[in-house]
Amino acid sequence: MAFHGEVAVVTGSSRGIGRAVAELFAAEGARVVVNYRCDQDGAEQVVRGIVASGGEAIAVRADVAEPEDVERLFKEALAAYGTVDVLVNNAGILEPKPFLELTKQDILTTFETNFVGVALCAQQAARIMLERGRGRIVNIASVSGLDNFGTAGNMPYAASKAAVLNFTGVLAKALAPHVLVNAVAPGFVETGMGHSPEYEAVVTAVPLGRLVQPREVAEACLFLASAKAGATTGETIVMDAGFRLR
């Protein structure tokens, strides 16, 4: 088990990509802090599944956009497990809305979760990691944050993910050489939408003819947080099934 005895904090891990990340790290021996904002049932289900498989996990409610919540999240992680080795910044929101209908609050709400939350969690984790002289941070971004792949309907989301990508590189320099900071930028990820017209439209838009699976994103996170990543820092792994090749 590559992460035996290590502690991983995974934000927004009651479902989707975050859940896949939490479960995979636990399967590799990590003790996992499953973070959620609203979905307590989902988070507790993830914890029960990990424990039933012989792993260790706790669920902690915290809104990553709130400094007090973030501070409590890491305090509870330390109280339970004594340290933090890995942070996967996954929590994020996407609320599509036509550009001309956007309000200031729409934009701020998206940035507060998708970017400010990443920065606040990274700050708390970095304090712990630098004191120990080692650690890994993995930020979940999006292909929407690359170049001009966002759309007018998700402008705040795309802009916030672009900020995460920039932040990843800057933070990697700030925390070197002891803490590695990298990102994963998924494209369209399977979310259980089924074979609806929207699903078919997305599938035909990507060269591989399928969506990215949450487990695949989790495996990229596992690699970036492992010793196999070696000297990799400030980098982004793009997983979009060839979407950018359209």
Give catalytic residues, as residue numbers. 157
| Rounded CA separation 16/31 (Å) | 19
Residue listed under structure tokens 């998708």: 114
Q: Angle CA(185)–CA(191)–CA(197) in degrees, nearest 5?
A: 110
Answer yes or no: are the C-beta atoms of 56 and 48 closer than 8 Å.
Answer: no
**Sign of the CA dihedral 97, 99, 103, 107?**
positive
For residue 191, the number of C-alpha atoms closer than 13 Å in the C-beta half-sphere is 10
The phi and psi torsions of 86 (rounded to 5 degrees) equal -135, 135
β-bridge pairing 86-89 and 7-10: parallel
The distance of Cα 235 from the centroid of its chain, to the nearest Å, equals 15
Nearest Cα to 46, choosing from 24, 70, 68?
A: 24
